[in-house]
Amino acid sequence: MSTIEDTIRDQIAKHPVLLYMKGVPEMPQCGFSAKAVSCLQAAGVPFAYVNVLAAPSIRETLPSVSQWPTFPQLFVGGELVGGSDIVSELAASGELKTLLEAAAAGQAQG
């Protein structure tokens, strides 16, 4: 029987770019999630998302899996990148687009 932790690890492994957020990209439910979505959309690389407000068990469990206490949480290539501030900083420096494109290309080759 799989646990919530197994589900989270499976989601992270399956999606090269995955955002755990409050709400959905079309309608974020907090300013930090909105900022992260905006950065990801500006980079132009498709991303998957999980609405933690609709999945309370994931919302409760993810911080202990990722060792990151807040949302949103961006995972790229199976690794935690960070939250809204880090995503914004990476977007401003141009590193986010490079990171996302590399993850997307890795999935295409895999």
Name the nearest CA neighbour of 76 among 34, 32, 15, 35.
Answer: 15
18: number of CA atoms within 13 Å, CB side? Answer: 21
Q: Pairing mode, if any, of strands 23-24 and 27-28?
A: antiparallel
Residue list for the binding site for [2Fe-2S] cluster:
30
Binding residues: 22, 30, 59, 71, 84-85
| CA dist., res. 102 & res. 20, Å (int) | 20
CA 104 – CA 97 distance, rounded (Å): 10
Which of helix, strand or coil describes residue 25? coil
Annotated binding-site ranges for glutathione:
22, 59, 71, 84-85
